[in-house]
Amino acid sequence: EAGVTQFPSHSVIEKGQTVTLRCDPISGHDNLYWYRRVMGKEIKFLLHFVKESKQDESGMPNNRFLAERTGGTYSTLKVQPAELEDSGVYFCASSRLAYEQYFGPGTRLTVT
């Protein structure tokens, strides 16, 4: 069974540019989560999809971040415009059961 995949693995962009991160969950997993780890701090929850619906987006930092999951399969997280403090590692996870989350390798975002 293929695991959670994320693309790209690393992205370097300039402040003010736009970046779109993609996550492909494990097939059959209705739950999809985004987390991020900024500046070596703790990993923080961003949002949770159940199929294509946003179940909880309480962790989204501001309106520069937009997450979508059209069709309930893969998800994208767009940052527009990117700021320096957005640099970090963005993790995606999926699950069939709520607490058994399987994480992808993460996308390292560097904003210069």
Partner 1 sequence: SQQGEEDPQALSIQEGENATMNCSYKTSINNLQWYRQNSGRGLVHLILIRSNEREKHSGRLRVTLDTSKKSSSLLITASRAADTASYFCATDVRTDKLIFGTGTRLQVFP
Chain residues binding partner 1 by CB under 8 A are 4, 6, 31, 33, 35, 41-45, 48, 55-56, 58-59, 91, 93, 95, 98-106
| DSSP-derived 3-state class of residue 65 | strand
Specify the residue, 60 or 81, whose C-beta has the smaller distance to partner 1.
60
Q: Smallest Cα–Cα separation from 46: which of 73, 13, 68? A: 68
- Judge contact between 103 and 6, C-beta under 8 A: no
Specify the residue, 6 or 11, whose C-beta has the smaller distance to partner 1.
6
Specify the residue, 55 or 76, whose C-beta has the smaller distance to partner 1.
55
